[in-house]
Structures are given as structure tokens and as C-alpha cells.
């Protein structure tokens, strides 16, 4: 019933969040408060490491979520969004009533405002302006723009982008960055309003001044969450919008753009000169190409000069010139070889593209790290050309250098396609066995050999190799895969890991402990010894009873 009433279901939440965030969100169901249901959205507060605001929206494209936690601000459907979504589903029966109440409140507010006289509305606005400084600043800007008071507009925008009121000892700390970012966003809105009000030329000049100030001060801001950078990007967008309306002198605009891009100290805005191509026209682009050539000749290794040259050459469609430019600075990982190959392939020159990719493999053959996308590029094209054995040779060579589970999987896939996995597997496992003897562990501490055997489903061999070698992660994986066929052995692993997991605290640790106990319970059920598990669990709960959050999580899992 819930999906029909609410507009989404648990499967939708899981699909948006992914398994990891979904499972972590389960631990925050008791941390949701202040749930407010609107006609097409839900807002709430989630108490985690900090207090986070969450908004879920149900529109024509389905469910979406926003959260002001760092992960959520990157555009992800985070664990806090999961917690709010599941809370809504739990309260599905009350949603229609709450939506109706929200519609009634909105309708009532509209009716009340419409009934107010001009003097009453003015009094209301003055009251709000007196209480809300941000609202007052926004209205002051709009008023100044409406009466063409550009001096006041400039003054207010400069005040908004001035970081000094937020700086402690000359530095804007993480806790103050969000407040400063909101002010910069206000400045961007004011610049857009200028353009809308017929003063685009003035908006161009003010935006350029604002971008210069932001670039100068950005290095003294802890913008870990990117809120200031996002607001500065809005200022840059306002500049572009104003340029498209005002159509400033193309050569002067080209000089400003080139100067801003080439200024290494200005990394707050990612200006792409080609976004301005329609405004620059042929004369502006020619002037920018001239400036880019001069900068590149004087400092060819500079990132900014190279970026500007690459963008301009690419826009002109000169593939050979772009290849030559890239070839002057080949990255030892093979990333530049891949870039060249992709440019050539896009131009319909597939044979040359593959030759460059193969050259990348040769040039980087002795490197410990090589860009995996380059290896994939070559192997995919070998497979399409019926060169399965060549693809295996490439994967084999990379496996010898990387010795990772990912490289093992890629070798396995290529060798199966070439019908030679049995021989390749024997050689690969021998290599990993030698590494294990030399105590060369995997990424998480245990030998890659055990990861490979588990990935192959060779549990008998994995059990033989695990003794004295496997890390806790590998033991848990082995127990998970073996509990149906070998419940007694798996139970021993789970109980050992439970003992090691009793000390750590926090939601993540408690969720992990609960999963281990679920595995142990499954083993006892398979062995027909559920009573000893019940007694063991009761003792564990008594031992850890002061950890109330753990008790809540165990209750949720039926433990």
C-alpha cells in the first residue's frame, strides 16, 4: 500500500542509494525528527555526526533527494535521505492527511495575503525585513537595481563577497564557509537580476570584479564541502548570461577570459572559454588563440596555458594539432595516450587510435600503475577484432605487475573468452601463492590469493590457504560463502569475529556486529543447535546492555 500512497517504495530508495548507503541509512531511522510533508516534497532533520537537513522530492522523474551533508552535497542519495525515505514509508497511512493539511496551509496563506491591503502588505514586509538580515539585503539590492543605483548595487555585491567578516585570523574556517557561501550566492542572484532588469552591461563588469575578488581570497577559505565554489560558479554563470545579452567587445572579453584562465591563483571558478564562443565570435576566438599561443610558448609546462590551448585547438577541429599538443607531455600512467586514442577514434581514425593506445602500453609497461581505462580500451578493440589471445596477453602482463583481485578478474574474463582459463588460472594462482609465501598481503592485509580463490568459488582451497594468512575481512567472506555447506566451520569464524567486534563503537560497528550474529544464527539453525545461540546472545546483550544504540540495532534485526 505504501508505494501507491507515498509515490515510491523501499526498492526505489535502495536503487537510488545503493546497497551501502541503504544499509547505513537503516541505522538512522531513530535519528529522524521534524518531518514535514508538503504536496510534492518532504523535509526533515537527521541527527548524525552533525545535524543535517534533508529534502525528498517526488516529481515527474520520480524520487530524488537532497541533504546538506558532504556526501549529499555531491549529488548523492545519502544515508540520511534513506532514513527519511524509510521513515515516510513507515508513516504512509498519515501521508494523505498531511498532504491535505499542507495544501490547506498554502491555500490559506495565499488567501490571507490576497486579502491584505497595500498598507498591510507593506507593514508585513517591513516587519520581515527588520527580523531577517538576508532578506533585507536581497530587497535592498533589488531596489537599487530597479532605480538604476549602480553605486549601491556594486557596494552591496562587494559587501556580500567580502570574506573578512567570516575570517578568523585572516582565514575562513570550515564552520563559517557555508554562511559565506550563502552570501556569494546572493551576489550571483543580484547579478542575474541586473541582467533581467535591462542592465546586462553593468552586470558584466560587476561579475568580472566579483570573480577577481573571489579568486584572490579563495585560497584562505576551508571550502571542504564546496559550497563557496558552487556559489562562485553561479557568479560565473551570471557573467556568461550577462555577456550573451550585452554582447561586450569580443577582443576585450577574450583578453579578460584568457587572463582569468591563465591566472594560476584564481582556482575558484572553472571558466571554459568555449562557453563564450557565440559571444566571442571569430575575432574574439582569434585573439584568445593568439594569447594562448604566447602563454604556451613562454611556459609550455603550465597547466593553465596547456588547458587553454587544448580547448581552443579542440574547438577548431584540428585533430593532428591536438594530438601533437598532447604528445608533448605524455603522462607515465598512459592517460594521455588514451586521450589521444579517443580523439583519433572520434575523428574516424580507428587504426591510428589503436596504435597510440598500444604505444601507451609499451611506454608504460614497466610502471607499477597504468591507467586501467587504457588497458580496457585496447582489450575491447582486440576482442572486437577477434584477437582474443592478444587481449589475454595484455591482461596477463598487467596482472604480473598489479597482482590485485581486479587484475585477476580481468585476466579470467579475457582467458575465458579465449578458452584458455584453466592454464592461465594455474599460472596466476602460482604467482599469488608465491606472493603469499613472501607475506605480500592484499589491499586489506590478507593475501590476494585468498581473494582470488573466494572469487572463483573454490572454497575448499580457500579454507586450506586461510589458516594463518587470511585477515578478518577474508574470514568473514569465507564464512558467508560456506555456512550452508560447512556450518560448523563457519560458526567458529563468526564467533571469533564477534569477540573481536565487541570493543568498537558507533553505528557502523554495531551494524557489522549484527551481521556477524545473523550469520552465527544461520549456522546454529543449520546445525539444529538454536538453544545454545539463544543463551549466547542473551549473555552478549547483558554484557553490552549499556550501549543503547546497539540494543536498538539488534532489536531491529530480531536479535
Give the 3-state secondary structure of residue 470.
coil
pLDDT in tens, 114-167: 999 999 999 998 999 888 877 887 788 778 777 778 888 888 889 888 998 888
Give pLDDT, residue 266. 66
Instruction: Give the side-chain half-sphere CA count within 13 A for 79.
Output: 18
pLDDT mean over 245-274: 85
pLDDT mean over 90-103: 84
Look-up of cell digits 552586470: 203
pLDDT in tens, 49-73: 788 999 998 766 678 888 988 788 7
Calculate ∠ Cα 413-415-416, nearest 5°.
Answer: 65
Q: In terms of pLDDT, which residue wins out, 452 or 41?
A: 452
Dist CA 451 CA 445 (whole Å): 11
Q: Is 509 within 8 Å of 472 (Cβ atoms)?
A: no
Confidence of residue 302 (pLDDT cuts 50, 70, 90): low
pLDDT mean over 403-416: 93
Residue 8 confidence (pLDDT) above 90: no
Closest CA to 208 of 171, 158, 135: 158
Residue 443 confidence (pLDDT) above 50: no
Contacts of 299 (CB under 8 A, 6+ apart): 305
Residue 399 confidence (pLDDT) above 60: yes
Confidence of residue 1 (pLDDT cuts 50, 70, 90): very low
Give the 3-state secondary structure of residue 331.
coil
- Considering the chain, what percentage of its residues have pLDDT values greater than 90? 46
Instruction: Give the side-chain half-sphere CA count within 13 A for 345.
Output: 14
Strands 41-47, 32-37: parallel, antiparallel or unpaired by DSSP?
antiparallel
Dist CA 331 CA 363 (whole Å): 10
Dist CA 145 CA 190 (whole Å): 8
pLDDT in tens, 459-482: 999 999 998 889 999 999 999 999
What cell was used for 478?
569465507
Q: How many CB atoms lie within 10 A of CB 498?
A: 18
Confidence of residue 300 (pLDDT cuts 50, 70, 90): low
Give pLDDT, residue 359. 94
pLDDT in tens, 494-511: 999 999 998 888 888 899
Rounded CA Rg of the chain: 31
Give pLDDT, residue 402. 84
CA 447, 451, 457, 458: dihedral to nearest 10 degrees? -10
Answer positive or negative: Cα dihedral of 370, 373, 376, 380. Answer: negative
Confidence of residue 283 (pLDDT cuts 50, 70, 90): very high
Q: In terms of pLDDT, which residue wins out, 362 or 365?
A: 362
Query: Could you tell me if residue 242 is left (phi over 0), alpha (psi between -120 and 50 degrees) or otherwise beta?
Result: alpha
Give pLDDT, residue 236. 93
**How would you list the strands of the sheet with 32-37, edge to edge?**
32-37, 41-47, 51-59, 62-67
Answer positive or negative: Cα dihedral of 418, 421, 426, 431. Answer: positive
Give pLDDT, residue 2. 54
Give pLDDT, residue 444. 53
Give pLDDT, residue 147. 75
Amino acid at each position: 500500500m505504501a508505494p501507491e500512497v507515498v509515490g515510491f517504495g523501499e526498492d526505489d530508495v535502495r536503487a537510488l542509494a545503493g546497497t551501502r548507503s541503504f544499509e547505513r541509512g537503516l541505522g538512522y531511522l531513530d535519528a529522524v525528527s521534524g518531518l514535514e510533508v508538503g504536496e510534492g516534497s518532504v523535509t526533515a532533520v537527521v541527527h548524525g555526526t552533525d545535524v543535517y537537513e534533508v529534502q525528498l522530492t517526488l516529481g515527474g522523474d520520480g524520487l530524488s533527494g537532497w541533504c546538506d551533508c558532504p556526501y549529499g552535497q555531491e549529488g548523492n542519495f545519502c544515508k540520511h535521505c534513506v532514513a527519511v525515505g524509510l521513515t515516510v514509508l513507515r508513516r504512509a497511512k498519515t501521508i494523505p492527511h498531511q498532504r491535505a493539511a499542507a495544501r490547506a496551509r498554502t491555500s490559506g496563506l495565499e488567501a490571507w495575503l490576497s486579502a491584505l491591503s497595500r498598507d498591510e502588505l507593506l507593514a508585513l514586509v517591513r516587519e520581515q525585513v527588520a527580523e531577517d538580515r538576508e532578506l533585507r539585503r536581497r530587497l535592498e539590492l533589488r531596489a537599487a537595481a530597479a532605480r538604476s543605483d549602480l553605486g549601491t548595487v556594486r557596494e552591496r555585491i562587494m559587501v556580500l563577497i567580502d570574506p573578512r567578516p567570516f575570517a578568523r585570523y585572516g582565514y575562513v574556517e570550515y564552520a563559517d564557509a557555508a554562511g559565506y557561501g550563502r552570501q556569494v550566492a546572493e551576489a550571483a542572484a543580484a547579478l542575474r537580476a541586473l541582467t533581467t532588469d535591462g542592465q546586462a552591461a553593468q552586470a558584466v563588469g560587476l561579475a568580472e570584479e566579483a570573480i577577481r575578488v573571489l579568486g584572490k581570497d579563495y585560497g584562505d577559505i576551508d571550502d571542504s564541502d564546496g559550497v563557496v565554489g558552487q556559489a562562485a560558479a553561479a557568479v560565473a554563470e551570471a557573467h556568461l548570461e550577462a555577456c550573451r545579452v550585452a554582447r561586450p567587445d569580443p577582443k576585450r572579453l577574450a583578453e579578460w577570459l584568457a587572463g582569468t584562465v591563465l591566472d594560476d591563483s584564481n582556482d575558484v571558478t572553472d571558466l571554459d572559454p568555449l562557453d563564450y564562443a557565440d559571444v566571442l565570435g571569430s575575432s574574439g576566438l582569434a585573439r584568445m588563440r593568439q594569447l594562448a599561443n604566447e602563454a604556451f610558448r613562454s611556459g609550455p609546462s603550465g597547466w593553465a596555458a596547456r588547458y587553454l590551448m587544448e580547448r581552443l585547438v579542440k574547438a577548431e577541429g584540428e585533430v593532428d594539432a591536438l594530438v601533437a599538443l598532447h604528445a608533448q607531455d605524455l603522462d607515465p600512467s598512459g592517460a594521455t595516450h588514451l586521450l589521444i586514442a579517443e580523439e583519433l577514434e572520434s575523428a574516424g581514425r580507428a587504426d591510428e587510435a589503436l596504435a597510440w593506445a598500444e604505444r601507451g602500453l609499451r611506454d608504460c609497461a614497466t610502471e607499477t600503475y597504468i591507467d586501467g581505462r587504457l588497458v580496457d580500451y585496447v582489450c575491447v578493440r582486440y576482442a572486437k577484432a577477434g584477437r582474443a589471445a592478444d587481449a589475454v596477453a595484455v591482461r596477463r602482463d598487467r596482472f604480473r605487475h598489479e597482482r590485485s583481485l581486479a587484475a585477476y578478474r580481468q585476466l579470467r574474463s579475457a582467458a575465458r573468452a579465449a578458452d584458455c582459463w584453466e592454464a592461465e588460472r594455474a599460472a596466476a594462482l602460482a604467482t599469488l601463492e608465491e606472493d603469499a609465501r613472501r607475506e605480500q598481503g592484499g589491499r586489506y592485509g590478507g593475501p590476494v590469493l585468498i581473494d582470488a580463490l573466494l572469487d572463483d568459488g573454490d572454497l575448499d582451497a580457500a579454507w586450506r590457504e586461510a589458516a594463518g594468512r587470511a585477515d578478518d575481512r577474508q574470514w568473514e567472506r569465507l564464512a558467508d560463502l560456506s555456512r550452508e555447506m560447512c556450518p560448523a566451520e563457519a560458526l567458529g569464524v563468526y564467533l571469533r569475529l564477534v569477540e573481536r567486534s565487541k570493543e568498537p563503537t558507533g553505528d557502523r560497528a554495531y551494524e557489522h556486529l549484527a551481521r556477524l550474529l545473523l550469520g552465527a544464527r544461520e549456522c546454529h539453525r543449520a546445525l539444529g543447535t538454536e538453544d545454545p545461540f539463544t543463551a549466547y546472545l542473551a549473555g552478549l546483550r547483558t554484557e553490552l546492555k549499556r550501549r543503547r544504540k546497539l540494543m536498538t540495532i539488534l532489536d531491529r534485526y530480531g536479535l
